[in-house]
């Protein structure tokens, strides 16, 4: 996926989870943060950040800029929480990502309700095999290791439980961790932050839910699916 009209700035502060103050060309402006997660290891005063400029296409927007990417050392990280679903939608359509147990897809539907949850994708292949996909964006990285979650997520646990139920009812089920950066050695669930999510993920793998991880090619103005990343549960 691509963004329009990218501008560079320096992060100053984050008054709340929706808004950041950024310096652009010597002027302090407020911008929308497209990620309500903590992101404390990313949004550090003085860090280079990239925003999408909506000048001339504001519509009902209140803020001109949206913060979409940040430099962490020499690594560029996309932190747009809406990007992973778009990345996977593009990758499924272009067959850049293949799903175990499924052939060529003939149906890809976003936001499909199953049980008590709305899952990210419903898919169906040419053999009429049906499946559900839940996508998780990953921005937390330490020493080349990507981790999820960066905050407790009971909703995430519920999604995993629904996918296990789907497998028991004959569906294929997938959790795809979209690591929103390059240069990652492996992915592992973050036990320090939410052990219950990590244990649920282990159980899901044992019951037949496929857990996939991929990194991304990231530029200040784009993000696309990259290569598979090793998983360590």
Q: What integer pLDDT is reported at residue 87 of this predicted model?
A: 98
- Of the chain, the percentage scoring pLDDT greater than 90 comes to 96
- Whether this prediction's pTM lies above 0.85 is answered by yes
Structure tokens at 200: 């649920």
- Mind spelling out the 3-state secondary structure of 65-123? EEEEEEEECCEEEECCCCHHHHHHHHHHHHCCCCCCCCCCEEEEEEEEEECCEEEEEEE
Q: How many CB atoms lie within 10 A of CB 44?
A: 12
Predicted confidence (pLDDT) at residue 232 exceeds the cutoff of 90: yes
pLDDT band at 37 (very low <50, low <70, confident <90, very high): confident
Contact status, residue 76 vs residue 68, Cβ threshold 8 Å:
no
Give 152: exposed, middle or buried? Use CB within 10 Å, 0-12, 13-18, 19+: middle
Q: Catalogue all structural domains in the chain, each as residue range(s) with its CATH number.
A: 6-78 (2.40.50.580), 83-231 (3.40.1350.60)
pLDDT band at 41 (very low <50, low <70, confident <90, very high): very high
């Amino acid at each position: 996926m691509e963004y329009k009209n990218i501008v560079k700035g320096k992060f100053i502060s984050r008054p709340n989870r929706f808004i950041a103050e950024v310096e652009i060309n010597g002027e302090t402006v407020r911008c929308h943060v497209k990620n309500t997660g903590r992101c404390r290891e990313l949004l550090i005063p003085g860090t280079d950040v990239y925003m999408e400029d909506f000048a001339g296409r504001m519509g009902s927007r209140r803020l001109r800029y949206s913060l979409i990417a940040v430099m962490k050392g020499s690594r560029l990280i996309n932190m747009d929480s809406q990007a992973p679903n778009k990345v996977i939608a593009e990758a499924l359509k272009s067959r850049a990502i293949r799903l175990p147990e499924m052939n060529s897809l003939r149906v890809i539907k976003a936001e499909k309700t199953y049980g008590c949850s709305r899952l990210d994708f419903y898919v169906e292949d040419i053999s009429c095999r049906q499946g559900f996909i839940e996508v998780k964006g990953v921005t937390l990285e330490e020493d080349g290791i990507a981790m999820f979650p960066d905050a407790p997520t009971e909703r995430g646990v519920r999604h995993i439980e629904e996918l296990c139920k789907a497998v028991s009812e004959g569906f294929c089920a997938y959790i795809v961790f979209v690591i929103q950066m390059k240069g990652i050695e492996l992915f592992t669930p973050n036990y320090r932050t939410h052990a219950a999510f990590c244990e649920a993920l282990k159980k899901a793998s044992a019951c037949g839910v496929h857990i996939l991880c991929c990194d991304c090619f990231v530029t200040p103005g784009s993000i696309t699916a990259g290569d598979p990343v090793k998983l360590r549960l």
